[in-house]
Amino acid sequence: MADWLIWVLAGIGFLAGELALPGVFLLWIGIAAIGAGLAIAALDPPFWGVSLVFLALLAAGIAAALRLRRTLGAARVNTAGSGLTGRFGTVIGPDPGGLRVRLGDSDWAARLPGDVRAMPEAGHRVRVEAVDGTVLIVRPS
């Protein structure tokens, strides 16, 4: 069997492994192995050349993935803020650390964004803009 075909089949095997165990780890190895196999078919380099092509493709793929992840950000599904942001609550009263807000059937610690200076009174309606850990960031509505 030709060397280039072994690299391509190994790459396809890694891609199949990625489908079976998703995690975006075997994907880059599989793509780099297929690229190395195509380089062997086109150029017939020595072993050290094939190794360099494989490592360069692997590094480029991982760098591109990290840059794309940083650009797009991680998916934020089912986070605490995803269900609370945009909801309305009622100020219960002051709290040593800021405000207490009733949202639905629970009370939350809250604070105002930096551009809001006036502290709302008890009973005032507020809108949740963000969640910082377990503290709601609210704006008077």
Instruction: Note whether 40 and 23 are same-domain residues.
Output: yes
Q: Rounded distance, CA 27 to CA 4, Å?
A: 19
Angle between helices 47-72 and 3-20 (to 10 degrees): 30
Question: 46-59: per-residue pLDDT in tens?
Answer: 989 999 999 999 99
Instruction: Note whether 17 and 48 are same-domain residues.
Output: yes
Q: What percent of the chain is helix, strand and coil (3-state, nearest 5)?
A: 50, 25, 30
pLDDT of residue 35: 94
Write the CB contacts of 12 (distance below 8 Å, at least 6 apart in sequence).
30, 34
Instruction: Note whether 58 and 101 are same-domain residues.
Output: no
Instruction: Note whether 59 and 30 are same-domain residues.
Output: yes
Instruction: Note whether 48 and 14 are same-domain residues.
Output: yes
Rounded to the nearest integer, the mean pLDDT of the chain is 86
Question: 13-47: per-residue pLDDT in tens?
Answer: 999 999 988 777 889 999 999 999 999 999 989 98
Instruction: Note whether 7 and 66 are same-domain residues.
Output: yes
Among 72, 97, 130, the domain-final residue is 72
Which class for 99: exposed (0-12), middle (13-18), buried (19 or more C-beta within 10 A)? buried
- pTM of this structure: 0.53
pLDDT of residue 115: 76
Strand 88-95 vs strand 125-132: parallel, antiparallel, or unpaired? antiparallel
Q: Are 116 and 138 in contact (CB under 8 A)?
A: no
Check pLDDT > 90 for residue 95: no
As for how many domains the chain has, the answer is 2
pLDDT of residue 22: 77
Check residues 79 and 6 and name the one with the higher pLDDT.
6
Average pLDDT over residues 101-118: 85
Q: Rounded distance, CA 2 to CA 4, Å?
A: 6
Residue (of 82, 126, 130) closest to 100 by Cα position: 126
- pLDDT tier at 77 (50, 70, 90 boundaries)? low
Instruction: Note whether 55 and 104 are same-domain residues.
Output: no
Domain span at residue 62 reads 3-72
Check residues 65 and 72 and name the one with the higher pLDDT.
65
Average pLDDT over residues 102-107: 89
Q: Rounded distance, CA 33 to CA 103, Å?
A: 54
User: For the domain that residue 86 is a member of, what is the CATH number?
Assistant: 2.40.50.140
